Structure 1
Amino acid sequence: MCFPVCRAIGIPCRTVTTYSSAHDTQNSLTVDYFVNEEGETMEELNNDSIWNFHVWNEVWMDRPDLLPGDYGGWQAIDATPQELSEDMFRCGPASVAAVKQGEVLRPYDNAFVFSEVNADKVFWRYAGPTQPLKLLRKDVLG
């Protein structure tokens, strides 16, 4: 819905489709999977996921609010956000230039957009609330 609205009011806009799009619910920049000591998946702890595909839009705009740096140009926006951003369901406008440079501390959901296209799958063994997690494996995506 965002694409035709932006175009109708004169904002340059394009649709972006990603495949194997990460959904990082804990802002860890990874997709985390937890298993117990027997190697069984712990569904109650597994909130992250990888979607077959995801679609959002990018709009073209200047970003003088993101100084220092040149972060104008394409900005990722998502009309179907699944996570809260500053207590509201929204996503963006995240500077695509900042995402490509790994600037995850930039405002407007740059970390979330970065993880959608760059998150690795990380597998952990969970032995209880007082025990440290044990890293089992990391699958680098992309």
Structure 2
Amino acid sequence: MDPESTVFRGMLEGWARQQRSRFLQESGTIAPRLALIRRMADFTGQYPWQWTPAEAEAFIAHLRSGSKPIMVSTARGYEISIKMFCAYISDPRYSWAGECEQRFGLVPQQVFHEWKCATRRCLSGWRWKTPSVRRRSGGLKLEAA
């Protein structure tokens, strides 16, 4: 097997193991997340250490178009899952970044940021209160989502 496929498979196995250690469900959470990452890799024709925000945006835009576009809430869930995977492979505690840099000369990066997702709230879990609430209370306030 080629080194790229081996590293990618190792990333997926490691991420699945990390999620299992948090007692997440295999069929309801872990397997769909892994399938999503494989789907993005197939769509882009690239491995995760080659992904940029442009590939992630193109992937979500593709899923939002066509005869059966995904809903905004589904896109948000997909973006969060991809963000979590990118956080795992770029976290120095798991050594994938160093492995990729050594083998391929590239380092995995985060492809979804607060301003590049379905809603700003999708990554932070916080949102601004509605303007009418702000006017009544006299200032800007954050509330938990």
The TM-score normalised by the length of structure 1 is 0.27
Between 1 and 2, higher relative CO (CA 8 Å, sep ≥ 6) is seen in 1
Structure holding more strand per residue: 1
Structure in which a larger fraction of residues adopt helix: 2
Relative to the length of structure 2, the TM-score reads: 0.27
